[in-house]
C-alpha cells in the first residue's frame, strides 16, 4: 500500500467519526452517536489497515480522552481485565511448546495417519486444525500447520505452491479448520473470551465453561462434517498425493521419544484445562480461582521449573519475544468498544430499534443475528464482531422480552467461521502461496452453507431444547 493511500485512509477514519457522530445525534443520544462514530472509525481502519490492527486498538483510549464518552477508568479497565489475564496465562503455558518441540510432535502424530487420497488429506488436515484450535489460539495452530503442509507438498514433488492445484484444498482446510474449531471451547479464540466477558457483565455471574461445551460441541461436530463434505465436492484436480503418510511417519520418528520437558508442558496445559472445565465443582471452595487465574498460576509455575538444558522451562526474555501482545491489545480494544457502546446507551438504543422490526424471536430473528455477526466478522475480525454484536443482542432480546442466552450462543457460533478474505489467521496460508482469489471463490459457497447450518441448529435448539438457554 502506498503512503498516499495510507494517509488517505488514516484521514477518512476521523471523518467517518464526525459524519456518524453528527448524523446520528438525533436518532441516538449525543454520547451514543459519538460511541458509534468511534466504532465506525475503528472498523474502517481494521478493514483498510492503514496502520497495524493493534494500533487501531488504542483508538478508544485516545478518542475517549478528548470526547469523554464514558469514564476513563471504566474504559482502561478493559485493557487489564480478567479476560486479558486468561489470554496472557494461555500464552505462558503454550510458549514453551515451540522450544521443547511439543507443538510439532502433536501435529505430526495427528497427521501420521493421513492417507494419500485427497479426501483423506482434506479430512485429516481439517479435523486436526479444528481439534487443536479448540484449545489453542487460532493463529498459533495455523502458523504451526501451514509450514508443515507446505513441507509435505514439496516432499510429494510440488515445489511451486502458488500454482500447485493440490495446495488449494489442503491450505484451505487448515485456514478454515482453525477458524471453525475456535468455537469448540472458550479458549479457541479471543472472540470467545470477549463474548463471555459481555455475558458475565450482563448476567452478573461467572460463566461456567461446561455450559459452552454442552451446547456448542454438537454444532461443531455437525459443522465440521458439513464443511468436510463441501470440501470433498470441490474440484481439486488432484486425486492423491503419494508418499505423504510415510513423510509424516518419518518426520515423527525423527523426534524420538517424548522428552521430559514436553511431558511437563503437556501436563501443565492439561491441568489448566481440567481446572477450567471442573470449575463448577470447586467454586465454593476457591471462589477466586476462575479459569483465568488457574491458567496464569500454572504459567507462573513454568518460570520456576528446571528444564533439561539446566535453565528454566520459560524465561521472561522468551515471553517478551513470543507473547502475542498485539493480539491482547486488539482483544482489549474490542472490550473497550463494547464498553463505549454500552456505557453511552448506544447498544440499548440499537436494541430498541431492532425490537421495532416485525420479529418474534423465531427463524427470521436467528437468521438476522447470524448474518449480522458473520458480515462484521468477515470484514474485520471475530473479536470486533463480538464487541459489536453481543451488546446489541442483549439489548434487543431485553426489549422483546426474550431470553438472550440462546441468541448469544448463536452469535458465538457465527463468529467462529471466517472463510472469505485473507484477513487475520487466513493471511498465513496466503503468505505461504495460497491464491487469495481461490479462497474467496470457494469460500463464498462454504460461508453460505455454514450460515444455513448455524441458523437451522440455533432455531432447532431454541424450539426443541428447553435447557439450551439455561446456564449453570
CA distance 68 to 65: 6
> 109: closest CA among 148, 72, 76?
148
- Cell 528454566 locates to 312
**pLDDT value of residue 145:** 78
Whole-angstrom distance, CA of residue 110 vs CA of residue 127: 9
The cell numbers describing 141, all together, are: 495452530
Rg of the Cα trace of the chain? 22
Q: Looking at beta carbons, which pairs linking 252-257 to residues 24 or more positions away fall under 8 Å?
A: 252/105, 252/108, 252/109, 252/112, 255/101, 255/104, 255/105, 255/108
- Cα separation, 448 vs 371, in Å, equals 10
Q: Map out the domains of the chain as residue ranges.
A: 1-51, 52-469
Burial class from Cβ neighbours inside 10 Å (0-12, 13-18, 19+) for residue 125 reads buried
Q: What confidence tens digit (pLDDT) does each residue in 141-160 have?
A: 777 678 778 777 776 667 77
Residues of the chain with pLDDT under 50: none
Distances in Å between the alpha carbon of 418 and those of 114, 181, 391, 422, 424? 25, 11, 21, 10, 9
Cα–Cα distance measured from residue 462 to residue 466, given in angstroms and rounded to the nearest whole number: 7
Residue of 402, 380, 62, 457 lying closest to 194 (CA atoms):
380
Residue 38's pLDDT is: 92
For residue 320, count CB atoms less than 10 angstroms from its CB and return exposed for 0-12, middle for 13-18, buried for 19 or more: exposed
Integer Cα distance of 217 and 222 in angstroms? 9
Q: Which of helix, strand or coil describes residue 314?
A: coil
Nearest C-alpha neighbor of 377 from the set 304, 294, 443: 443
pLDDT, tens digit (0-9, with 9 covering 90-100), for 103-132: 778 767 766 777 678 888 899 889 989 988
C-alpha of 382 from chain center: 6
**How far apart are the C-alpha atoms of 343 and 31, rounded to whole Å?**
9
Amino acid at each position: 500500500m502506498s503512503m498516499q493511500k495510507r494517509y488517505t485512509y488514516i484521514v477518512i477514519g476521523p471523518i467517518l467519526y464526525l459524519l456518524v457522530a453528527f448524523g446520528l445525534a438525533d436518532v441516538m443520544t449525543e454520547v451514543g452517536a459519538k460511541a458509534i462514530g468511534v466504532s465506525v472509525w475503528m472498523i474502517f481502519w481494521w478493514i483498510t489497515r492503514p496502520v497495524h490492527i493493534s494500533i487501531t486498538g488504542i483508538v478508544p483510549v485516545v478518542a475517549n480522552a478528548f470526547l469523554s464518552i464514558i469514564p476513563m477508568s471504566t474504559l482502561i479497565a478493559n485493557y487489564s481485565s480478567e479476560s486479558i489475564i486468561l489470554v496472557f496465562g494461555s500464552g505462558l503455558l503454550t510458549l514453551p511448546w515451540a522450544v521443547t518441540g511439543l507443538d510439532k510432535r502433536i501435529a505430526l502424530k495427528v497427521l501420521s495417519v493421513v492417507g494419500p487420497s485427497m479426501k483423506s488429506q482434506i479430512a485429516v488436515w481439517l479435523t486436526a486444525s479444528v481439534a487443536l484450535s479448540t484449545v489453542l489460539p487460532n493463529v498459533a495452530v495455523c502458523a504451526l500447520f501451514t509450514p508443515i503442509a507446505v513441507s509435505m507438498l514439496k516432499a510429494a514433488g510440488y515445489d511451486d505452491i502458488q500454482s500447485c492445484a493440490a495446495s488449494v484444498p489442503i491450505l484451505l482446510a487448515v485456514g478454515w479448520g482453525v477458524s471453525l474449531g475456535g468455537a469448540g471451547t472458550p479458549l479457541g479464540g479471543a472472540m470467545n473470551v470477549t463474548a463471555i466477558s459481555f455475558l458475565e457483565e450482563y448476567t452478573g455471574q461467572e460463566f461456567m465453561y461446561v455450559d459452552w461445551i454442552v451446547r456448542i460441541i454438537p454444532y461443531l461436530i455437525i459443522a465440521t462434517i458439513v464443511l468436510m463434505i463441501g470440501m470433498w465436492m470441490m474440484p481439486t484436480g488432484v486425486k492423491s498425493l503419494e508418499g505423504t503418510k510415510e513423510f509424516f511417519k518419518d518426520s515423527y520418528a525423527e523426534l524420538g521419544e517424548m522428552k521430559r520437558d514436553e511431558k511437563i508442558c503437556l501436563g501443565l496445559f492439561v491441568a489448566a484445562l481440567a481446572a477450567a472445565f471442573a470449575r463448577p465443582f470447586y467454586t465454593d471452595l476457591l471462589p477466586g480461582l476462575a479459569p483465568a487465574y488457574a491458567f496464569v498460576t500454572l504459567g507462573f509455575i513454568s518460570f520456576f521449573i528446571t528444564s533439561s538444558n539446566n535453565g528454566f522451562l520459560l524465561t521472561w526474555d522468551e515471553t517478551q519475544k513470543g507473547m502475542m501482545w498485539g493480539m491482547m491489545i486488539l482483544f482489549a480494544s474490542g472490550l473497550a468498544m463494547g464498553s463505549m457502546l454500552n456505557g453511552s446507551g448506544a447498544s440499548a438504543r440499537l436494541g430498541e430499534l431492532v425490537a421495532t422490526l416485525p420479529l418474534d424471536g423465531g427463524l427470521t430473528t436467528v437468521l438476522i443475528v447470524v448474518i449480522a455477526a458473520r458480515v462484521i466478522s468477515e470484514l474485520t475480525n471475530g473479536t470486533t464482531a463480538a464487541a459489536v454484536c453481543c451488546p446489541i443482542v442483549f439489548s434487543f432480546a431485553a426489549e422483546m422480552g426474550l431470553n438472550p442466552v440462546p441468541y448469544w450462543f448463536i452469535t458465538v457460533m457465527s463468529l467462529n467461521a471466517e472463510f472469505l478474505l485473507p484477513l487475520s489467521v487466513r493471511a498465513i496460508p496466503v503468505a505461504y502461496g495460497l491464491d487469495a482469489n481461490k479462497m474467496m471463490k470457494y469460500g463464498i459457497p462454504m460461508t453460505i452453507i455454514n450460515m444455513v447450518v448455524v441458523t437451522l441448529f440455533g432455531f432447532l435448539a431454541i424450539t426443541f431444547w428447553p435447557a439450551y438457554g439455561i446456564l449453570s
